[in-house]
Amino acid sequence: MTAASRPEPFRLSSAPALSRSTADRQETLRTDPERLRAAWPSARVIRVDGHGRAPVPEHRIVGVEPKDVPLVSVPALDVAETVPDEAVFLGRWRDADYWAVSAEPGPDAHSLALDLDGWGVPVEVPVAAGEVWVELRVHGAVLDDTAAGLLTTALALRNWHRRARHCARCGGTCRLRQFGWASRCEQCGREEYPRTDPAVICLVHDDVGVNGEHVLLARQPVWPPTRYSVLAGFVEAGESLEGCVEREIREEVGVAVRDVRYLGSQPWPFPRSVMVGFAARADAGAALAPAEGEIEDAQWVSRDRVRKALAEGDPDLRLPGGTSIANVMIRAWAEADE
Ligand SMILES: [Zn+2]
C-alpha cells in the first residue's frame, strides 16, 4: 500500500466453492428432446445416490491432500440405451452433454470416515470399486470447478424433485418434464419450475477504520463445541435482502447494523437455498445479547485471532469449513486492509 492509497472495503478474494462451474447449462436444449436423445450415445453421466452423494476416484481423495478432485463420469451407453425417464440434463462441457442419474454404490461398498472440512466431525461415506461417494456439503471445496458445478446443479434438481411430486394447487400427481427442469400436474395441468429460497449471511465488523478491527462471530447450540461462524437467516415473505440482514442480526444478537453491502452468493442446495453474502458495520464494542435457544454464544473477535485460527487452527475457535460461503467471507475479511 502506498502512502497515498486508502484502504478499500474488503471483497471476496475467490469464488465460493459451490459457485464455481464450467459446464454451459444450454437451457434451450431442455425443450429439444430430439437433439438431446440423438446425442445420448456420446453423453457422459454422473451418478448420485439416495443420500445425494456422488463418486470421485479413490486415489484422488484417500492418502493424498485432496484438491481439484473430479467426479467420475461414465459413458451414457453404460447406463442405458436411451435417455432414462428420470435422467436430468445438466448441460454441456468439452463437447459432451452431461446428465445425472440415480445410482447406488453397490452391495460390496464399505464405509470410510472422511473429515476434509475442518468441522471436527468425520463423515462416513461409502467406498466401492475404487470410488469414494463424497458429500457435496462437506467435501465440495476439494472438488474441481466442473465437478462442483455439476453436482450442485444435480443436487438442487434432485432435492426439488423430491418435494414436487404432488401439485400445490390440486394435490394431483406431477410428472417431470424438460429433462428434470419442469414438472406438470397430470390432473390440472399446472406447471412448476425448480424453486430456490434466498437466505442472507452477513459478516458484521466494527466501525474502526474501513474494515473494522473485530468481527462478530456466534455459535448455535446444535453445532460441535467451539465452532463459530457469521450470522445467517432466511428471507421472509415481503422482505428485502438488506432488511433481512438488519432484522436477523438484531434478532439473534441484539445489534443494530448499517452500511449493508453485497459481497457475493453461492447456491446451497440443502435442500434449496441460495446464500446471499453481505458485510455490515456496527458500533465498536456493541453489547451482544444472544437470542435464547438460537445463539449459544456471540463474541467480537480480533482480526489477529481470526488470522491465527485460519492459519494454524484454534481448538477454541473452529471456523466454517471450506465449502461454505462463510469461510470465503471470513478469509476475505481477515486478509483485508485495516
Ligand atoms: Zn394439479
pLDDT tens readout for residues 174-210:
999 999 999 999 999 999 999 999 999 999 999 999 9
Residue 221: Cβ-neighbour burial (10 angstroms; 0-12, 13-18, 19+): exposed
Q: Where are the alpha helices (DSSP H) in the chain?
A: 33-38, 76-79, 136-139, 145-163, 241-253, 303-312, 325-335
**CA 335, CA 338: separation in Å to the nearest integer?**
9
Whether residue 1 is predicted with pLDDT greater than 70 in this model: the reply is no
The verdict on domain 197-335 having CATH code 3.90.79.10 is yes
Q: How far, in Å, from the CA of 35 to the mean position of ligand 1?
A: 30
What integer pLDDT is reported at residue 122 of this predicted model?
80
Whether residue 2 is predicted with pLDDT greater than 60 in this model: the reply is no
Domain ranges of the chain: 17-163, 165-194, 197-335
Q: How far, in Å, from the CA of 172 to the mean position of ligand 1?
A: 5
What integer pLDDT is reported at residue 119 of this predicted model?
58
Q: How far, in Å, from the CA of 174 to the mean position of ligand 1?
A: 8
* Mean pLDDT across the chain: 94
Average pLDDT over residues 11-29: 96
DSSP string, 198-239: EEEEEEEEESSTTT-SEEEEEE-TTSPTTB-B-EEEEPPTT-
Sheet hosting strand 182-185, strand order edge to edge: 174-177, 182-185, 191-192
Contacts of 3 (CB under 8 A, 6+ apart): none
Q: How far, in Å, from the CA of 175 to the mean position of ligand 1?
A: 11
Q: Which amino acid is at 9?
A: P
Q: How far, in Å, from the CA of 87 to the mean position of ligand 1?
A: 23
What integer pLDDT is reported at residue 4 of this predicted model?
53
Q: How far, in Å, from the CA of 191 to the mean position of ligand 1?
A: 8
Q: How far, in Å, from the CA of 193 to the mean position of ligand 1?
A: 14
What integer pLDDT is reported at residue 118 of this predicted model?
59
For 95-144, write each residue's pLDDT tens digit.
999 999 999 998 899 999 887 665 567 889 999 999 999 999 989 999 99
Share of the chain above pLDDT 90, in %: 90
C-alpha cell at 295: 445463539
Q: 6: pLDDT confidence band, cut at 50, 70 and 90? A: confident
Q: How far, in Å, from the CA of 282 to the mean position of ligand 1?
A: 48
Q: How far, in Å, from the CA of 85 to the mean position of ligand 1?
A: 21
C-alpha cell at 136: 457435496
For 217-226, write each residue's pLDDT tens digit.
999 999 988 9
Q: How far, in Å, from the CA of 88 to the mean position of ligand 1?
A: 23
